């Protein structure tokens, strides 16, 4: 059972950013988190940041160009070929074990299970 925690805030350190997340850390109990700015693009920003947690880089960083640009390129919807390749790489490197754990009942999950998750903007 994996929990990725997201915090929604009105102001983040750099106003041009829609959010922050740790790259390739979806199974790291300390860094499987992110921050998304609260506003009109909250859902897009959250999906984008979860993409980072899942090992995805920005489309432009992987030379993924139009028309193959998705959420990680700041345009379009869905995942580009580059994003799918990034996630497949993450799944093949051993950084994904938590994704295959059977879910536990919701009544066994408490807010205390989120304690210890740390977001340090300087490390992003």
pLDDT, residue 120, reads 55
96 annotated binding-site participant: no
Mean pLDDT over residues 94-112, rounded?
63
Q: For the chain, what is the domain count?
A: 1
Which residues span the domain enclosing 107?
5-123
Which one from 19, 25, 49, 79 is the annotated catalytic residue? 49
Tokens of 45: 């920003």
CATH of the domain at 12: 3.40.390.10
Residue 49 falls in the annotated catalytic set: yes
Q: What is the mean pLDDT of residues 5-20?
A: 58
Q: Give residue 28's pLDDT.
A: 82
pLDDT mean across residues, the chain:
73
What is the DSSP track for the chain? ----EEEEES--SSTT-SEEE-TT-TT-TTT-EEEEE-STTHHHHHHHHHHHHTTPPPGGGGT--TTS--GGGTSSSS--HHHHHHHHHHHHTT--GGGGSPPPPGGG--GGGGTT----GGG-
For 28-52, the pLDDT digits (tens) are: 878 877 877 766 567 788 888 889 9
pLDDT of amino acid 43: 77
Instruction: Note the pTM of the prediction, 2 decimals.
Output: 0.69
Residue 102: per-residue pLDDT: 66
């Amino acid at each position: 059972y994996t929990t990725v925690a997201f915090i929604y805030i009105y102001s983040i350190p750099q106003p041009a950013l829609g959010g922050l997340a740790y790259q390739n850390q979806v199974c790291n109990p300390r860094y499987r988190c992110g921050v998304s700015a609260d506003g009109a693009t909250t859902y897009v920003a959250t999906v984008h940041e979860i993409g980072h947690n899942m090992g995805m880089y920005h489309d432009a960083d992987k030379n993924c160009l139009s028309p193959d640009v998705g959420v990680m390129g700041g345009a379009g919807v869905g995942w580009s070929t580059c994003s799918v390749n990034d996630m497949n790489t993450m799944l093949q490197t051993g950084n994904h074990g938590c994704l295959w754990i059977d879910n536990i009942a919701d009544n066994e999950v408490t807010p205390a299970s989120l304690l210890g998750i740390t977001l340090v903007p300087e490390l992003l």
